[in-house]
A and B are shown apart, each in its own frame.
Chain A
Amino acid sequence: MTTARLQLTGISKRFAATAALADVSLELLAGEIHALVGENGAGKSTLVKVIAGVHQPDAGEIRLDGELITVPNPAAARERGIAVVHQEPRLFPDLSVAENIFLIAPPTDRFHTISWGEMRRRAAELFEQLDVRIDVAAPVRGLSMADQQLIEIAKALAIEARVLILDEPTASLSSHEVERLFTIVRRTSERGVAVLFVSHRLDEVFELCDRATVFRDGRYVTTAPTSELTTASLVRFMVGREVSLFPKEATTVGAPILEVRNLSDASGFRDVSFTVRAGEILGLAGLVGAGRTEIARVLFGIEPRTAGEVLLDGRPVEFRSPSEALRAGVAYVPEDRHQDGLVLDFSITNNITLPILGRLFPRLFLRARTEVEVATQFSERLRVRMTGVDQAVKALSGGNQQKVVIAKWLAARPRVLILDEPTRGVDIGAKVEVHRIVSELAASGLAIIMISSDLPEVLAMSDRILVLHEGRISEEIPRADATEERVMFAATGQRVQAPAGTGASSVH
């Protein structure tokens, strides 16, 4: 047996009180495409960061072609021929494509200065190998996400990488772009590069990869050739147990509250129509970049629409800012809690009352007791684990932070609540609690739109599921007919002829 190109043994990594990786191992062979799969929080990203030199492991060893190595920083990883393509490309928008590839080691002329002609020639050569047409002299600013990812891959080729790591590279690509990417990845691995493909899209794993390694809760579970795996077995390895998600309670669905007719925006989605009723949870499924978040942003007044209309309680509305949307009773729990959801330095109280200050205190002056009462009421209702409502939210765990975000919106008493990936980065216990809360909210008569990439969650929580594909609604699936398989098919633009019950759903 040949030595593995990259061999990780017994890697552990802790962050404060949390073990992100506990004694995990991974073996990459030259010329193979190896999938690393696992749920959110399984430790995939942490492992990638350890290999890339961003994090230092607390224990364990890394061998490259049999040689024991350390990777103290990203530059060292690159020197050793380990290239990482991140989900969000990290390029220099002002510099040209060619320069982004050769920034660290530019080709030089006889005066030891940069030879631009040579650089452009070599860059063009690389893209020729990849069979991609791109203007190497143009600045990166203005290129699509897909093109930027190809530049990252070209960077890997330029340093003659021995190991290429792709961290959720397809997250923001269209299906056509994904196909092109896969062709290129295959071509790269045929040159003897070991490719690690990190993804949570199982269809891609089966399409592209030779072997797959599964992580769960920071631990190694198994490695197997994909030919010996099925979607069902892979899911079982990932989840490891029958997850008891909190299924939505049956509620009486009331009158329509929010109606969306033929809505379009500038770039994200087109001709979208749906209705949400009181007491109903409408699931919005689809791949990242299919236009789900864009719909939410238009409904919440962050982005303008270009066509169509929105009716709230039968009356047409058009919000030009979130404050207008809020006043009308539409609330949005954004995808990025830290960036958009919370003022991290503020206390729980100050975060919860921020949207309703004007309503609480019409005479401008704050009253601490009123604020604390409101904050206590809602944070207790959501069972936020805290030392007190004066605690800064940045000291809370992810799950509790998410509960504060939801508490904030409950205090605003909305009619429509839009949740964008409400349990991303939240541990299992908190996830179940968030589900219970959302279910209760629906029962209390709110109209809820839930955007989620977590299929079991969508299936468990939604009364109806709207699946988006490349900016358009590809299918609307009632709760009774919903399976993971059917949603997944619709999300990739296909349709299942007969609703099959063979999906790998672990939901009950």
Chain B
Amino acid sequence: MSAPQPQGGPVARVLGLLGRSRELTLVALMLVMGALVTLGAPQFISVSNLNQVTAMAAIIAIAAVGEALTVMTKNIDLSVESTIGLVAFLVGVILREHDLPVPAAWLVGVGVGLLLGIANGAVITIFRIPSIVVTLGTLSIFRGVVFILAGGKEVNLVDLPPGYADLATDSVLGVPVFVIVAVVIVAAVGLLLWKTKFGRQIYAVGSNEEAAAIMGIRSRTVTFTVFAMCGALGGVAGVMWGIYFGTIYATSASGLVLQIVAAVVVGGVTISGGAGTVVGAALGALFLALINNALLVLQLPQELLQAIYGAVILVAVSADALLSQRQRRLAAREARR
């Protein structure tokens, strides 16, 4: 029960706490799952396996943070997977064909991601077109640009500077670099949401746009900024994707948006806007990566993965709906007391 008054035994109270905090629920689920998987396949808990899991989880988590921002404002960005693919490919091409230092190439990649996000945000806010339509369009437009860029060729690991792909598994004081990057980004965006006026305006716009307008909040500016941020974070994820895989195809990261949106939804960011945290979205990404890895180490068929993702999305949103329905009913009862 998520009733305001604590009732029932200790078990009920723990469940109530979990029901209210999606972050805690996910951590608990992951611990249980980790324990079970380790029983079946002890190599799950090995350092090299965990590094593998966290590197991919970090990429998805960063993209999910951006996606979460758009969902919090009651929007959605379906094009982020094409942004990731485009930036990954572009950075590869730059490193292959130009004599640019690596960090500069990365900067260009993130900048291009930002530009793509700005393009989305501009069309959505200037023409007041639903974000789902715009980003469904740019999903294939951005991907088309990758095809033009690729011209039928892929970027291979040998084209890149020596040792480039090692960055994905490098670590500082035992912590993988990718994880550090993800944690820094989650912390920074989390602080922005929690501690600044602009961050709170993101929630306000998603929670009640009419009230936000009356309060003098410029919801279009907020929406625009959020899409720009989502693009830039997609750019960061794209750069990391390129480092992680080394070999990049024109179709790289196709279909990834499902996993990103799933991470956001599973992480407790409600699709109706106004609620959720980026920590939740990042934990959602880790949760999905763990499922993926668990299938691998338990030698279960990988084909199950997509079906599981779909089921996880449906279960998560249904749970949200049930919880909020119960909340509404409680509220109605409260109002009549």
Contact = CB atoms under 8 A, between A and B. Distances in A.
A114 B203 contact: no
B208 A90 contact: yes
Interface string B177-218: 000000000000001001111001101101110111011100
A287 to B, nearest CB: 14
Contacts of B328: 142
A113 B196 contact: yes
Nearest to A155: B215
Contact of B332 (A94, A266, A471): A266
Interface stretch (A39-47, A72-80, A429-437): A72-80
A90 B212 CA distance: 9
Contacts of B98: none
Interface string A262-296: 00001110000000000000000000000000000
Interface in A49-102: 54, 73-75, 78, 90-95, 99
B327 interface: yes
A441 interface: no
A138 B4 contact: yes
A305 to B, nearest CB: 15
A54 B337 CA distance: 34
A267 B210 contact: no
Contacts of A471: 336
Contact of B215 (A75, A144, A146): A75
Contacts of B330: 142
Contacts of B215: 74-75, 78, 103-104
Contacts of A114: 194-197, 200
Contacts of B113: none
Given A74-B214, A93-B274, 6 more contacts: A92-B211, A92-B274, A93-B207, A93-B208, A99-B200, A267-B333
A508 interface: no
A146 B208 CA distance: 19
Contacts of B303: none
A268 B333 CA distance: 9
B15 interface: no
Contacts of A493: none
Top-5 shortest CB links A-B: A75-B216, A113-B195, A94-B274, A144-B335, A90-B211
A106 interface: yes
B134 to A, nearest CB: 25
A170 to B, nearest CB: 14
A267 B212 CA distance: 30
A141 interface: yes
B39 to A, nearest CB: 39
Contacts of B210: 90
Q: Give the residue among A75, A106, A141 with the most B Cβ atoms within 10 A.
A: A141
Contacts of A54: 214
A266 B331 CA distance: 12
A334 to B, nearest CB: 19
Contacts of A268: 336
Interface centre among A74, A90, A91, A106 (most CB of B within 10 A): A90
A145 interface: yes
A144 B4 CA distance: 13
A142 B331 contact: yes
B216 A73 contact: yes
A83 to B, nearest CB: 12
Interface string B255-291: 0000000000000000000110000000000000000
A445 to B, nearest CB: 37
Contacts of B4: 138, 142
B97 interface: no
Nearest to A74: B214
Chain B interface residue count: which class?
20 to 34
Interface of B: 4, 191, 194-197, 200-201, 203-204, 206-208, 210-212, 214-216, 274-275, 327-337
Given A94-B203, A142-B331, A267-B332, A78 B196 contact: no
* Central interface residue in B211, B327, B330, by most chain A CB within 10 Å: B211
Interface residues of A, number: 29
A224 interface: no
Interface in A97-148: 99, 103-104, 106, 111, 113-114, 138, 141-146
Contacts of B194: 114
A267 B208 CA distance: 26
B207 A267 contact: no
Contacts of A144: 331, 334-335, 337
B208 A91 contact: yes
Nearest to B206: A94
Nearest to B194: A114
Nearest to B327: A142
Contact of B200 (A75, A78, A106): A106
A90 B269 CA distance: 22
A94 B191 CA distance: 18
A494 B70 CA distance: 53
A143 B275 CA distance: 17
Contact of A95 (B196, B204, B334): B204
Contacts of A103: 200-201, 204, 215
B332 A92 contact: no
A146 B336 CA distance: 10
Contact of B216 (A94, A104, A106): A104
Nearest to A106: B197
A95 B207 contact: yes
Nearest to B273: A94
Contacts of A104: 215-216
A143 B197 CA distance: 24
Contacts of A142: 4, 327-328, 330-331, 334
A106 B195 CA distance: 10
Contacts of B214: 54, 74, 90
A403 B127 CA distance: 37
A74 B218 CA distance: 13
A90 B210 CA distance: 8
Nearest to A142: B331
Nearest to B211: A90
A267 to B, nearest CB: 4
Interface string A429-468: 0000000000000000000000000000000000000000
A78 B195 contact: no
B197 A267 contact: no
Chain B CB count within 10 A is highest, among A73, A141, A142, for A142
A99 B215 CA distance: 13
Contact of A91 (B197, B211, B332, B335): B211
A269 to B, nearest CB: 10
A73 B213 CA distance: 10
A111 B191 CA distance: 12
A106 B200 CA distance: 10
